[in-house]
Amino acid sequence: MAGEDERHSEPRTWRDSGAAGGRVIGGEEQAAITQQMQALQTFTREELEECLTFLQRMSEHIRAELKDKPHIDRDTRTRLLTEVGRNDAWGAEITARLGGLPRTGTGATTRRLERLPSEPEVLCGACGARNRSGANFCTACGHTLPTAATTAQLATVKVTLGQLSDVGVVRKNNEDSIFAHELDLPSALGGGRGWLGIVADGMGGAQAGEVASGIAVNDAPRYVIENLAAVSDSEGIEALLKRALELANKSIYEQAHKRSGQRGMGTTATFALLAPAMERVWMAHIGDSRAYLINRLGVSMKGAGNRTIVQLTTDHSVVARLVELGQLTPAEAAKSPHRSVLYRSLGTEANSEIDTCSYSLQSGDRLLLCSDGLQAHLKDSDMANLVLRYDAQKAARALVEETKRRGATDNVSVILFALDLANPMGEE
């Protein structure tokens, strides 16, 4: 995840200071560190408890399956018992870490990263929010900015697409599914042509994972396409995308309970709608597939400074939550055997909590949606270098081929939207 080293350096110092041989800090210093940690923590004790509940529920399901199927083969029984042991051990670790966290009462929250401008900035006359230089619409409220009347006449933003999904070099079947589609946007979103894109990484083994991801990339975009014209303003888009994934969740969950071979199947989903005329993207997200924003001139984000690449989504994995809470370093999380354990996904529960967000865009931006098979082998800098070196489709292929060259232990899928300036006639 982007920016962890900067965001969590103080919480790690606080955690390590009490270890054997660690430096003893005074009351005033600890109070200052406590204040900094509280300011930096994005998530609550209740959210960490959500991870614990999920692990416990997983173990209960496995124990019930072992009880209901006494004649299950030895290898499968051993694998399931190992899974229970892992969940129980990790649950005990989370329980131990919960002791130092306050209870806030806010429960689970939808997470966002606030988009901040590069200098110089443009102030919105409607809400006062700061926006990136050259932006036509406010990233906070969608209001037309003072510069829009001139800049919109000089140039428009065009979008080109690159996409590819590959089984990798280890897996025998591809449980990822992707979908990208150009569509007409209503006047509430600036009109013109827009794009839908979704990456889904299925889980459940055999054919179940690809069934779950297939349902997600079929049902969610279809619902948005059928209902987009009814949205009266930009604020309704997040709700539309969220509802689309909720309905996909219901379809996956119901099918999983109709067929024993698909029980427990699920999928991640990172779902985006781009409106070039409004210089904006809306997203709904669940699981550990990701969305990145890349720009060679840098991307300014709260808590991440100005970087070439910034991760827009937050992984719904146990170790990612611990990193966000300052309880694990990114290096520790990368080596953890539990890094792929998700506590949120589509289809594994009757109801799933979906994250939503919205970001401003500008010419030069590259929006990358990908399954976790990509980031398992490529660093952020590797991804940015390949994306910025080629056009959209060549970059998508280069990302997949480089991942395969490094082992590609999982399926790998990417959708890349490249935003560039075009004149009003649509010519280069």
How does DSSP assign 295-342, residue by residue? EEEEEEETTTEEEEEEE-S---BHHHHHHHTTSS-HHHHHH-TTTT-B
Angle at 282 between CA 268 and CA 383, to 5 degrees: 60
Query: Is 149 in the same domain as 182?
Result: no
> What percent of the chain has pLDDT above 70?
71
- Rounded alpha-carbon distances, angstroms, from residue 417 to 114, 181, 272, 422: 21, 11, 10, 15
**Domain-located, residue 69:** yes
Q: Which of the four pLDDT bands, split at 50, 70 and 90, describes residue 18?
A: very low
Q: Are 120 and 366 in contact (CB under 8 A)?
A: no
Residue 286's identity, in one-letter code, is: I
Tokens found for residue 402: 């480089």
CA distances in angstroms from 167 to 236, 268, 280, 288, 406, listed in the order given: 36, 17, 32, 18, 14
33-36 contacts at long range (C-beta below 8 A, 24 or more positions apart) = 36/10, 36/11
Model confidence pLDDT, tens digit, residues 76-127: 778 778 778 877 877 787 777 777 666 665 544 444 433 333 344 566 666 6
Question: Do residues 366 and 256 both lie within one domain?
Answer: yes
The residues, ordered by sequence, that sit 6+ positions from 423 with a Cβ below 8 Å of its Cβ are 155, 156
Residues 6+ apart with CB under 8 A from 171: 409, 410, 411
Parent domain of 34: 4-98
Convert the pLDDT of each residue in 386-395 to its tens digit: 999 999 999 9
pLDDT at position 138 = 64
User: Other CB atoms closer than 10 Å to residue 217's CB: what's the count?
Assistant: 23
pLDDT at 116: 35
pLDDT score, position 85: 81
Residues 128 and 209 grouped into a single domain: no
Average pLDDT over residues 361-367: 91
Share of the chain above pLDDT 90, in %: 39
User: Does 22 share its domain with 139?
Assistant: no
Residue 39 confidence (pLDDT) = 33
Q: Does 270 lie in the same domain as 131? A: no
Q: CA nearest 200: which of 256, 271, 291?
A: 271
Dig out the tokens for 306 from the structure: 């100005």
* Residues 352 and 210 reside in one and the same domain: yes
Long-range CB contacts for residues 83-87, cutoff 8 Å, separation at least 24: 83/58, 83/59, 84/59, 86/337, 86/338, 87/55, 87/56, 87/58, 87/59, 87/62, 87/341
Give the lowest-confidence range in 64-73, 312-321, 413-422: 64-73
Same domain assignment for residues 173 and 142 = no
Q: Please tell me whether residue 409 adopts helix, strand or coil conformation.
A: coil
The tens digit of pLDDT for each residue in 394-413 reads: 999 999 999 999 999 999 99
How many domains is the chain partitioned into structurally? 3
Report which of residues 258 and 248 the model is more confident about: 248
Return the structure tokens found at 319.
């170790």
Whole-number CA gyration radius for the chain: 22
Q: What is the pLDDT of residues 171-218, one digit of tens each?
A: 989 999 999 999 999 988 888 999 999 999 998 755 688 999 999 999
Whether residue 308 has pLDDT greater than 80: yes
- Residues 147, 162, single domain; the answer is no
Q: Which residues pair with 266 in a beta bridge?
A: 203
For residue 109, tell me if it sits in a domain.
no
Last residue of one domain, picked from the residues 137, 154, 171: 154
Residue in the block written with tokens 């809400």 = 127
On average, the pLDDT of the chain sits at: 77
Partners of 342 in the β-ladder: 317
225 and 148 inside one domain: no
- Stretch 339-358: mean pLDDT: 88
pLDDT interval class at 155 (50, 70, 90): very low
Looking at residue 384, which CATH number applies to its domain?
A: 3.60.40.10
Which stretches within 69-163 are classed as H helix? 74-98, 148-154
- In this prediction, residues 359-367 reach a mean pLDDT of 91
